[in-house]
């Protein structure tokens, strides 16, 4: 992520747009405080991310309900399973 001043953004706007088109994110500041962000088009917005998080929370609730109060795996058991899978 690149940070530029408002004046710099005004004078180098074309160059900044090219960088954004290549996938970079630009933050524009005024008096050292962020005031705007230029991001590539098609990047997930807050609403899309919130919808995905809601879906994951619903999935987590379904899994917990399906477990029916059974004990969950401890951190050590999860780490052990991961290590076993790496071998």
pLDDT number for residue 72: 73
Nearest one of 10, 11, 17 to 35, comparing CA atoms: 10
Please write the tens of the pLDDT for every residue from 22-80.
989 999 999 999 999 999 888 777 788 888 899 999 988 888 887 776 767 778 888 88
Tell me the backbone φ, ψ of residue 21, rounded to 5 degrees: -60, -25
**H runs (alpha helix) in the chain:** 6-11, 13-21, 46-67, 75-86
CATH 3.30.70.980 corresponds to the domain 2-38: no
Rounded CA separation 54/69 (Å): 22
pLDDT in tens, 1-29: 899 999 999 999 999 999 999 989 999 99
Predicted model pTM: 0.51
Q: Are 40 and 64 in contact (CB under 8 A)?
A: no
Q: What is the pLDDT of residue 54?
A: 92
Each domain of the chain, given as residue ranges in start order, spans 2-38, 46-86
Measured over all CA atoms, what is the biggest interatomic distance in the chain, rounded to whole angstroms? Answer: 62
């Amino acid at each position: 992520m690149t940070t530029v001043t408002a004046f710099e953004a005004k004078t180098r706007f074309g160059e900044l747009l090219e960088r954004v088109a290549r996938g970079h994110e630009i933050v524009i500041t005024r008096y050292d405080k962020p005031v705007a962000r230029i991001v590539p088009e098609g990047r997930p917005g807050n609403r899309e991310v919130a919808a995905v998080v809601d879906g994951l929370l619903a999935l987590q609730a379904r899994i917990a309900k399906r477990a029916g109060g059974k004990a969950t795996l401890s951190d050590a058991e999860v780490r052990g399973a991961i290590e076993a899978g790496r071998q």
